[in-house]
Structure 1
Amino acid sequence: MSDLVLRQDKDGLATLTLNRPDKLNALTVGVFRELRQNVLDIQTDDSVHCVVLRGAGKCFSAGHDLADIAEGEKVPSPGWHSETLRLMERLPKPVIAAVHGHCYTGALEVALAADFIVAAESARFGDTHAKWALTPVWGMSQRLPRRVGIATAKRLMFTAEMFGAAEAHRIGLAEHVYPDSEFDAAVENLARQILSNSPFSHAANKRLLEATDARDLDGGLQWEILNCEGVGPDMQQRIAAFTGKAKKADT
C-alpha cells in the first residue's frame, strides 16, 4: 500500500487517517482500496479493540472525487465501494468516525458506516447527490434514515442542504460536538473509555444490535435470549478487579 490511508496503532486503538490533504481527502478507488485492506487487516488483529477513522489536514473528506466520477472509475466489481463500507461496519470492534471540516456526500456515507460520528465544531455535513444528478450506491439511502429518521433524511437528500455540527447533533447524526481545540484529546478520551470495557462484550453487542435493527420488539427480545453469547473470558478478571478495589475502599 502507499499512504492514501495511514494506520497508527497505540495501546489497542487503531487510527485510520484518510490522507489526501491536498485534495481535501477526496475519495478515489485508490483510497477505498487502502481503506478496505486496513479493515481486513484489523478484522483479524487481536491487538486492536477500537478504531477511529478521521481525515488529514483541513477536513474529514470533501466526498467522492468528482474528477474520478467524470472520467469513469474502474472498480474491481459491482458494488465494491458499498461492500468495503459494509466490511468496516461489521468489524467486531467499535468504530468511531471523527469528523472535522467537510464531510459531504460520499464522505458522509463513509462516516455513516462507523458505529457513530463525533464532530468538531468546524464540521460541515451534507448530501449533494441530487445537486449533481447522482443517486447513492454506497449506503446513504439505508444508513441516513436509520440514523436521523426518514423525514429528515428525505429533507437532507432533496435539498442538498449543508449544515454544521450543532445541527448534526440536534438531528442525531453526530453523538458529540467538541471545540476544535479540544477535538483530538476528546476523541482519544472517548476511545479510551471504550477500550476500558470488554472487547468480548463490544463484539457481541455489535452483532446483537445489527441482527435486531428494525425488528419488532418481541422478535428482538426473543433473538436476544436465544442468541445470547454468554460471558466473556475476561469476566472473572474484571469482577475480581472491581471487588478488590471495593474492598480496599472499605478499609
Structure 2
Amino acid sequence: MTDLVLREDNDGIALLTLNRPDKLNSLTVGMFRELRSHVSDIAKDDEIKCVVLRGAGKCFSAGHDLADIAEGEAVPSRGWHSETLRMMEKLSKPVIAAVHGHCYTGALEVALAADFIIAADNARFGDTHAKWALTPIWGMSQRLPRRVGIATAKRLMFTADMIGADEAVRIGLAEYVVPLDSFDTEIEALATKITTNSSFSHAANKHLLEATDGNPLDAGLQWEVLENEGVGPDMQERIMAFTGKKNSG
C-alpha cells in the first residue's frame, strides 16, 4: 500500500511529502492520519532540526477531497483535522511549507500551519469555502488574517479568487518566490541554513513569538525578559568556534 505522506530524513531535515499525485494530493482523513503520525514522531526526534512540507507531482495540494466531504468523512473526533495542524504548528522545529502549483482551501490551511511559506513561481493560492457553501474548520479564519490582515483575508474568503505567487508575496502570505526549475535547490539550501543555527534558539524563539503574538508591546517586552529561556547548551562551543576561526584568519 502506498504511503499517503512520505517522510525522508537527510542531515537533520525531515521532508514530508503529500503523496496522492494522481489526485493532485487532495486531502483525506487517511492522509491527515499519516501526517499526524509523522508530526508526532518528529516532535520526539532530536535529530530533526527542520521540517519541509511539500506535495508530490504537479502541485502542493488542490485542497480537501470533495468526494470525501460528500460521502461523509469518518473523522476520529470533532476538530481532529484542526488539532493535527496545531500539532504541526507547535513543533519546536521550524516548519517550511514549500508550495508549487495548486494550494487551495484545505491545502492553504495546511500551509498556513507551517512557520512560513516559500512559493514556486507557478504557485496558486485561494480559499474556495464560499464557492461550495462551506465554512473553515481547519484554521483558515484564524491563521489567514494573522498572516495577511483581516481586510485582505475577507477579500480572499468572500471572492474565492485565486492569486499567483507574486501577489501572495505582496500581501504577506508567502515569503518569496523561486523559479520552479530551481525550487528544489532553494528549499534544500534554506532548510540547511536553518539547521546550522541553534535548535535551542529555534524552539525558544517559536515559543516566545507565539506566546506574545498580539500582546501590547510592553506586555511582550516584559514576557521576553521574565520568561526568557536563557542560553543553549552549545553556546560556548558555538562562540569558541567563531572566535577561533576569526582569530586564525
Instruction: Give the TM interval when normalised to the shorter protein.
Output: over 0.9
Matches within 5 A, 1:37-48: 37-48=37-48
Name the SS of the counterpart of 2:122 in structure 1: coil
User: Matched residues, percent identical?
Assistant: 78
Question: Structure 2: which 5+ residue stretches go unaligned?
Answer: none
CA distance in structure 2 between the aligned counterparts of 1:105 and 1:47, rounded to whole angstroms: 32
Q: Which amino acid aligns with 2:104?
A: Y
State the match for 1:94 in structure 2: 94
Where in structure 2 are the equivalents of 1:2-17 lying within 5 Å? 2-17=2-17
Look up the SS of the partner of 1:8 in the other structure.
strand
The reply to whether residue 146 of structure 1 matches residue 146 of structure 2 is: yes
The 2-side partners of 1:20 and 1:171 are apart by: 30
SS at match of 2:26: coil
Q: Who is 1:242 aligned against? A: 242
Q: Which residue of 2 aligns with 1:163?
A: 163
Corresponding residue for residue 68 of structure 2: 68
Secondary structure of 2:172's match?
coil
Counterpart in the other structure of 2:21? 21
| Separation in 2, partners of 1:156, 1:44 | 37
Give the equivalent residue in structure 2 for 1:173.
Answer: 173
Q: Distance in 2 between matches of 1:73 and 1:118?
A: 31
Q: What is aligned with 1:55?
A: 55
What is the identity, as a one-letter code, of the residue corresponding to 2:22? D
| Alpha-carbon distance in structure 2 between the residues aligned to 1:32 and 1:2 | 14
SS at match of 2:14: strand
Write the distance in 2 (CA, Å) between the matches of 1:234 and 1:107.
37
Matched position secondary structure for 1:74: coil
- Check if 1:206 corresponds to 2:180: no
> CA separation in 2, counterparts of 1:122 and 1:77?
36
| Cα offset, 1:3, TM superposition | 0.4
Give the distance between the partners of 1:3 and 1:73, measured in 2 at CA.
19
Query: How many residues align structurally?
Result: 249
TM, length-normalised to structure 1: 0.98
Whole-angstrom distance in 2 between the partners of 1:182 and 1:38: 27
Match for 1:19: what amino acid?
A: N
Alpha-carbon distance between aligned partners in 2 of 1:62 and 1:144, rounded to the nearest angstrom? 17
CA distance in 2, matches of 1:193, 1:11: 11
Structure 2 CA distance, aligned partners of 1:144 and 1:2? 32
- Residue aligning to 2:121: 121
Call closer, same or farther: CA 1:2–1:44 in 2, change over 3 Å. Answer: farther
The alignment partner of 2:87 has SS state of helix
Distance in 2 between residues matched to 1:161 and 1:245, nearest whole Å? 52
> In structure 1, what is the Cα distance between the partners aligned to 2:193 and 2:173?
21
Structure 2 counterpart SS, 1:243: helix
CA positional deviation for 1:2 = 4.9
Which sections of structure 1, spanning at least 5 residues, go unmatched? none
Q: Which letter maps to 2:151?
A: A
Q: Which amino acid aligns with 2:60?
A: F
Query: What TM-score does the superposition give when structure 2 sets the normalisation length?
Result: 0.99
C-alpha distance in 2, partners of 1:10/1:157?
37
Q: What secondary structure, in the 3-state scheme, does the structure 1 residue paired with 2:77 have?
A: coil
Name the amino acid aligned to 1:231.
Answer: V
Deviates more, 1:103-112 or 1:1-10: 1-10
Q: Aligned with 2:202: secondary structure?
A: helix
Amino acid at match of 1:157: M
Partner of 1:104: 104
Deviation sequence 1:184-224 (CA, Å, 0-9, x none):
00001111111110000000000000100011111111111
Structure 2 distance, partners of 1:248, 1:133, is: 66
